[in-house]
Amino acid sequence: MPRSIKDLIVAVVLLSFGLVLLFSSFEKGRSGTFVSVIYSVFKPIQQTVTFVEERVTNLFKSYIWLVGVNKKNGELADEVRKLRTEIVSLKEKELENRRLKRVLELKNRLDFPTVVAQVIGQDASGFFRTILINKGSDEGVLPDMAVTVPEGIVGKINRSSAVMAQVMMITDPSMSVDCRVERTRDRGLLTGSYSYSCLLQYVNKEADLKNGDLVVTSGLDGIFPRGLVVGTLQSVRLSEHGLFQEAVVNPSAKLSEIEEVIVILGIQGGFSMEPGLESKN
């Protein structure tokens, strides 16, 4: 509790500063010096924690789970442990290779310059659906650039500093992506939702939507190039007032399990309307 005028002034000044920041930042994401300094401090810590976490997970997989097996198998324990360790390590490498191969394939298919980044953290508060990646403006990663994985789109860059960037995922309620249903070519607006993963809204009432239909980006929102996979329709219904159809969309990318992403570098928020991936598939 403030005990003097000085204390009260400090509280008021800081609260005012916070409010000024809050109201000014609702307009659009900023990536100034302050953001750069904080991100520069956090990047090595986040990377170290991620590194240690991976090692600890590997340790659990390769050693601690095997303690029970050791007891049961007596004299073969050492050999089994060594072999299992190798298998786990090889499997990890194989999975990583597969992931990176798919990433590379998509990277080559894209018409735009891209950069591959590693996911090094997730939203600290849990209220927003964001992830942190280890590439920033030094690599050309800037706000409003599209982020994708081979399975489907992930989101867009929300903030970036020189060394690190934050990705707002398509499941966040503040995100919206202009999409098409691939089969019928009907357009709709995909938004994130707290109740569902994503919701495709404002689709023509007469459109023949079916569960399982593939949803792709339309390229009309100026952020995502045309033809990138978004997800599949899960349940179709009429909107509240009956003017449009809406559908729950199951994102193709497993957003909670992503380890590497591709950032599509280009003019921020201003892609050309040239045919994108669809013509190449």
Partner 1 sequence: MNELIFFLVVGLLSLVFQSSVLGKILPFEYKPDVALLVVIWIGVKGDYFYGILSVFTLGLAMDLLSGSPLGLFPVIYLSAFLFVSYVNQSFDVERLGLGWSITIVTCFVSFCMVFLARWLGGQILFESSIIKLIILKTILTSLGLLIVKPVLDGAWKGYSKVIGAS
- Interface residue list for partner 1 (CB under 8 A): 1-3, 7, 10-11, 14-15, 17-26, 30, 34-35, 38-39, 42, 45-46, 49-50, 53, 121-130, 132, 158-159, 166, 168, 172-174, 193-195, 256
Residue type, 89: S
> From the CB of 100, what's the least distance to partner 1, in Å?
22
Q: Quick one: DSSP state of residue 195? A: S
Nearer Cβ to partner 1 (147/277): 147
> From the CB of 159, what's the least distance to partner 1, in Å?
7
- What is the spatial distance between Cα 191 and Cα 199, in angstroms, rounded to a whole number? 5
Nearer Cβ to partner 1 (149/277): 149
Nearer Cβ to partner 1 (10/104): 10
- What is the spatial distance between Cα 222 and Cα 182, in angstroms, rounded to a whole number? 19
Angle at 39 between CA 35 and CA 42, to 5 degrees: 145
> From the CB of 1, what's the least distance to partner 1, in Å?
4
DSSP string, 237-248: EE-TTSSSEEEE
The burial of 61, by beta-carbon neighbours within 10 Å (0-12 exposed, 13-18 middle, 19 or more buried), is given as: middle
Nearer Cβ to partner 1 (219/251): 251
> From the CB of 210, what's the least distance to partner 1, in Å?
26
- What is the spatial distance between Cα 9 and Cα 58, in angstroms, rounded to a whole number? 51
- What is the spatial distance between Cα 154 and Cα 170, in angstroms, rounded to a whole number? 6
DSSP string, 85-121: HHHHHHHHHHHHHHHHHHHHHHHHH-SS-EEEEEEEE
Nearer Cβ to partner 1 (106/131): 131
> From the CB of 264, what's the least distance to partner 1, in Å?
20
Nearer Cβ to partner 1 (157/207): 157
Torsion angle (degrees, nearest 10) of CA 272, 252, 162, 219: 10
> From the CB of 110, what's the least distance to partner 1, in Å?
25
